[in-house]
């Protein structure tokens, strides 16, 4: 599994790549802050909602600090997803490295 730091992901998207941004945090966390264009499927709902995702599409998994997303990304790989990327540092690091205006919790 690949891992991107937030600045790497921002540059990757700026270069024209269009991965699915999958946020696996809880809804209350999502309401506080989120990356533009991300979709929310809380980690506990992921097994039941796999059909909502395209296994062939590049998918970046996001959480608060990068730990839940790492485990969710590993799960996606075992479920047959071929191109999964973990956002190392999560939305907290995104606020530090890319968008300081992003609310924090």
Tell me the C-alpha distance between 87 and 80, whole Å: 19
| H/E stretch holding 84 | strand 84-87
Tell me the C-alpha distance between 55 and 73, whole Å: 12
Does 33 participate in catalysis according to the annotation?
no
pTM above 0.95, yes or no: yes
Instruction: Give the pLDDT confidence of 59-85 residue by residue, as tens digits.
Output: 999 999 999 999 999 999 999 999 999
Catalytic-labelled residue, pool 20, 35, 61, 63:
63
pLDDT score for 101: 96
pLDDT score for 43: 97
pLDDT score for 55: 97
pLDDT score for 64: 98
What domains appear along the chain, each with residue ranges and CATH number? 2-97 (3.40.250.10)
Strand order in the sheet with 84-87: 2-4, 84-87, 59-62, 20-23, 39-40
DSSP secondary structure of 22-51 = EE-S-HHHHHH---TT-EE--GGGHHHHGG
- Mean pLDDT, the chain, as a whole number? 97
Instruction: Give the pLDDT confidence of 15-56 residue by residue, as tens digits.
Output: 999 999 999 999 999 999 999 999 999 999 999 999 999 999
pLDDT score for 74: 98
């Amino acid at each position: 599994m690949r891992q991107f730091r937030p600045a790497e992901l921002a540059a990757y998207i700026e270069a024209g790549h269009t991965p699915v941004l999958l946020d696996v945090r809880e809804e209350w966390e999502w309401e506080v802050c989120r990356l533009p264009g991300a979709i929310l499927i809380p980690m506990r709902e992921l097994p039941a909602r796999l059909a909502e995702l395209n296994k062939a599409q590049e998918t970046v998994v996001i959480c608060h600090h990068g730990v839940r997303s790492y485990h969710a990304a590993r799960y996606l790989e075992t479920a047959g997803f071929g191109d999964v990327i973990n956002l190392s540092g999560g939305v907290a690091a995104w606020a530090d490295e890319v968008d300081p205006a992003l609310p924090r919790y």
